[in-house]
A = this chain, B = another copy of it.
Amino acid sequence: MTGNGYMGFRGTLEEFGKEQLAAVTLAGVYDQAGGKWREPVNAPNALFTRLSCNGKRLGVLDAEPLSHSQELDISCALHKRETVYGISGGELAFTAERFVSMDQLHVLVSRLSLTATADCRIELETGIDSEVWDINGPHLYGLQERHTKGVLLAEAVTGELGLQVAVAEMTTCHFEAGETSGEGGARRFIAFDVKAGEVYEWYKYAAVYTELDCSEPAESAVQNIRTAEAAGYGQLLAAHREAWAERWKRSDCVIEGDAAAQFALRYSIYQLLIIAPTQSEKVSIPARGLSGQVYKGAVFWDTEMFMLPFFLHSDPATARNLLMYRIHTLDGARRKAAEYGYLGAFYAWESQDTGDDACTLFNVNDVFTGRPMRTYFRDKQVHISADVVHGIWQYVAFTGDDSLLADGGAEVIWECARFFYSYACYNPVKRRYEVLDVTGPDEYHERVNNNAYTNALVRLTLEVALQSAELLRAKYPERYEQLAGRLAGGPFLKEFREMLAGLYVPQPDPQTLLIEQFDRYFILEDVPLAELKARVIHPNEYFGGGNGLATTTAILKQADVVLMLNLFKSTFSQEVKQANWEYYEPRTEHGSSLSPCIYALVAADIGSPDWGYPYFMRTATVDLTGESKQYVGDLYIGGTHPAANGGAWMAAVLGFAGVLFDGKVLRVQPALPELWTAVEVPLSLHGDSFRLRVSREEITVSAAAGNREALKVSGCGSRDQLCQPGAMLTLRTAGAAGASAAE
């Protein structure tokens, strides 16, 4: 897959169309058709190209090629294919190279060529393929195709919102050819005679605009495509490469000693870079990135909890965009809270453009009856609001950029706290606030009481609500008065303080050190995972929902308590973290791709990186092996896994390299897996740039010369040391000979 955050382009071949699931998936443009699920819009594909040789079609679907190769250069998101076909009297080699420009986000470009060992007559059918593949479409209506002064243009409007979508295309041939337009309007038919041994090369330029970008998308697309064509392929590619080099410079993580892990991690980072919304604060990253319409193109907690850390450490501006998206969708969250009779903001479990919830009450079909199954993702997974607060607060602490609070972040935080105040209830016998009837991260257990993860995050929300109020009042007093004034009727700070003082958050048992995932979890059937799997009747049956196999057992879908321990790692002892890791790990089914990375992270945290290494590799290779779940019930859930991609980065950098920055001190507590000799990673901390290198012997922090502040660093529990701008600081690791934590 390639992409640039504005659009994603699937790794299909030039001659592929709708049936082969070719798609140009647009970020943030959603449409609902015929009462089906709302999903992202795919644009017409302007890179479509089909060959015929001597009147016979050439393409991998038409004839078995003599050879075929495809290549993806992840250093710059360049997709290449070379296919050799047998033709009358010889062979014909066809190559195509394409990219979605990282420099000009609306532009796609490709360079195509052919050469043959025998003379032949070639016809190219190229232009814009407006036959768009959709899962729940069609989404584009009133298609108009034009050919004006060498530019093909396809225009349409989306069904629900009536948004114009325009795609323009130009093709330039570096050889003599006769071109005719087809009946369809946006097709070119280019015919020419090929001489054996000569190379025939041509270029395609495409531009995509929608009414979300500008008021006249067609004009912008045409203008943009003319400019691009004038610049030419070489210049466009150079600018694209440069933009990619900049991205990698800020984010590449080097693993020494383990080429497989290195490749998998880089592939994971690549997946994040091609979907990062670098230029828009109106979109965030969907659970399947821009790889298609799966999961409705919706944004889940995945972004804040699994992807945000990568962007915080490498690209804070994009991290800010991700959080601004939540600020822009606050009204949707307010509507959802009101719908359920609560105050404040209840963020969408599946968020699209407005923040209204795209999640249905029947998100999975029962494989045994084919009937929709009532699930409680939408209405009970209240932790989403706390996850958003956690993300905002992480950003503010991490970057020091508290303007986000004034720009709406504080309002989001307070509205989420108000939501929890209205959701929680007071138990007069136990004299405490409880959070009842929720679904935690472990979605196999719906509607549980006092989920440890949820309650801990609710507590954080209340704390952050109080702290952000203090911060805003001190630094942006006018803004504070304005925002706080609206909430003065309460519940507000007074109620938050009361609730915080009385909130029940499950704690480790003094004997076993275990934290119960939710009330009465420990009395569930404690069946071994293998035995549970032996009970499966249908390969795609969902383990959760109404009658799911796991629901009445202790088997969990994904890290829940352990995820909470990772979020609050500084507040729990190693013994507690280890006891819970050991207890929950064998009981985790990893039915979510979000799960394994957390076990890797906490394994590293408790000094057992080799327990975590297989989980890291599983996470980092999820989009290489394709070994993820493809179905939940009869619902297809394939595509890329950005949360796992982010999780792979977290496991490597925050886990094995042991990076922990709280906005004040960079603490480094490495725990490298057996194969790894060192990890090196660039870090953007509080707006300054650093390189960190962690080996078995030492920790080295290099500060960029242009940094504004000295950074406090602590390695393996040593006392804080300052790393001045332009300086390099070296610390001995705990594992190095003679070193000790007390040193």
Residues of A within 8 A of B (CB): 341, 343, 361-362, 366, 368-369, 371, 373-374, 421-422, 425-429, 434, 436-437, 447, 491, 495, 519, 535, 537, 545-549, 551-552
Provide a sorted-by-A list of 11 A–B residue pairs whose CB atoms are within 8 angstroms.
A343-B429, A362-B552, A368-B368, A373-B547, A374-B547, A421-B428, A425-B427, A425-B434, A426-B427, A426-B428, A547-B547
Whole-angstrom distance between the Cβ of A458 and the nearest chain B Cβ: 14
**Interface residues of A, dominant DSSP:** loop
Residue numbers in B under 8 Å from A427 (CB-CB): 422, 425-426
A14 to B428, CA, bound (A): 61
A368 to B368, CA, bound (A): 7
A373 to B546, CA, bound (A): 9
Residue numbers in B under 8 Å from A537 (CB-CB): 369
Given contacts A422-B429, A425-B436, A545-B547, 5 further A-B contacts (CB under 8 A): A368-B368, A422-B427, A428-B491, A429-B491, A437-B437
Whole-angstrom distance between the Cβ of A4 and the nearest chain B Cβ: 42
Are B426 and A552 in contact, CB atoms less than 8 angstroms apart?
no
Whole-angstrom distance between the Cβ of A405 and the nearest chain B Cβ: 25
Are B552 and A374 in contact, CB atoms less than 8 angstroms apart?
yes
Of the listed residues A369, A374, A422, A535, the one surrounded by the most CB atoms of chain B closer than 10 A to its CB is: A369
Residue numbers in B under 8 Å from A361 (CB-CB): 552
Residue numbers in B under 8 Å from A371 (CB-CB): 535, 547, 549
Q: Which of B422, B436, B495, B545 contacts A546 (CB 8 A)?
A: B545
> CB-nearest residue of chain B relative to A418?
B429
Residue numbers in B under 8 Å from A341 (CB-CB): 519
Residue numbers in B under 8 Å from A374 (CB-CB): 547, 551-552
A551 to B369, CA, bound (A): 15
A366 to B343, CA, bound (A): 39
> CB-nearest residue of chain B relative to A541?
B369
Are A429 and B421 in contact, CB atoms less than 8 angstroms apart?
yes
Are A495 and B428 in contact, CB atoms less than 8 angstroms apart?
yes
Whole-angstrom distance between the Cβ of A524 and the nearest chain B Cβ: 10
A362 to B551, CA, bound (A): 12
Whole-angstrom distance between the Cβ of A275 and the nearest chain B Cβ: 35
Residue numbers in B under 8 Å from A519 (CB-CB): 341
> CB-nearest residue of chain B relative to A433?
B428
Whole-angstrom distance between the Cβ of A681 and the nearest chain B Cβ: 46
A705 to B571, CA, bound (A): 81
> CB-nearest residue of chain B relative to A362?
B552
Whole-angstrom distance between the Cβ of A385 and the nearest chain B Cβ: 16
> CB-nearest residue of chain B relative to A429?
B422
A717 to B491, CA, bound (A): 50
Whole-angstrom distance between the Cβ of A610 and the nearest chain B Cβ: 38
Are B429 and A426 in contact, CB atoms less than 8 angstroms apart?
no
Whole-angstrom distance between the Cβ of A251 and the nearest chain B Cβ: 44
Q: Which of B422, B495, B547 contacts A369 (CB 8 A)?
A: B547
Residue numbers in B under 8 Å from A535 (CB-CB): 371
> CB-nearest residue of chain B relative to A495?
B428
Residue numbers in B under 8 Å from A362 (CB-CB): 552
A428 to B495, CA, bound (A): 9
A549 to B366, CA, bound (A): 12
> CB-nearest residue of chain B relative to A548?
B546
Of the listed residues A537, A545, A548, A552, the one surrounded by the most CB atoms of chain B closer than 10 A to its CB is: A552
Residue numbers in B under 8 Å from A436 (CB-CB): 425, 436-437
A548 to B537, CA, bound (A): 19
Residue numbers in B under 8 Å from A426 (CB-CB): 425-428
> CB-nearest residue of chain B relative to A552?
B374
